[in-house]
Amino acid sequence: MLALIRVAALTTLLFTQAARATPVASTVTTTTDGAPLPKGFPVRTLDLTTLANITRALGVHSDTSDVTFNPATLFLCNDLSCSTVCQQIALNMALVDECVPTTIFASAGIVQAANSGLPFPVLVGTPECASVAQIPTVNECFNFGGTELSNYDILE
């Protein structure tokens, strides 16, 4: 009887903690320098908040986001209103659950051709993500009240 319980417990563990079949990346080059956000995107201002305790996803998971079904690109721009050359980060290859340092930026946006939104939050913030703002929608540019930011985080 005890052996049967152990087999049932092991089977349950194996089927409920299965990992996705995406490769685990220790170093991912996901950035390119390019043009500003496409013209005509609305511009709004977001306030930063202090990052409280975040509950990360439990169990085994890939360390890159999985948006291959509907790809999107994070634009981190030097000037306000996403009006200059922006660093571009392909979200389908970006690290998740990690505050990633990058160059200093004043505005940001997410470009997604399908305009359907993302199934996970994307945060931008100050060093070590001490203060952050969540980018709430795609295909829109966000300023951050003149604060220079230098990190991003994708939560899974």
Rounded mean pLDDT for each run of 10 residues along the chain, 156 residues in total: 44 36 36 67 87 44 50 94 92 90 95 92 94 94 93 92
Q: HSE-up of 153 (CA within 13 Å, CB side)?
A: 20
Task: Evaluate whether residue 65 is within a structural domain.
Answer: yes
Residues 96, 156 contacting (CB under 8 angstroms): yes
Task: Evaluate whether residue 8 is within a structural domain.
Answer: no
Taking the C-alpha atoms of residue 71 and residue 116, their distance in angstroms, rounded to an integer, is 10
* Count of domains for the chain: 1
Task: Evaluate whether residue 5 is within a structural domain.
Answer: no
pLDDT reported for residue 141: 96
Task: Evaluate whether residue 138 is within a structural domain.
Answer: yes
Residues 98, 126 contacting (CB under 8 angstroms): no
pLDDT reported for residue 84: 86
pTM: 0.69
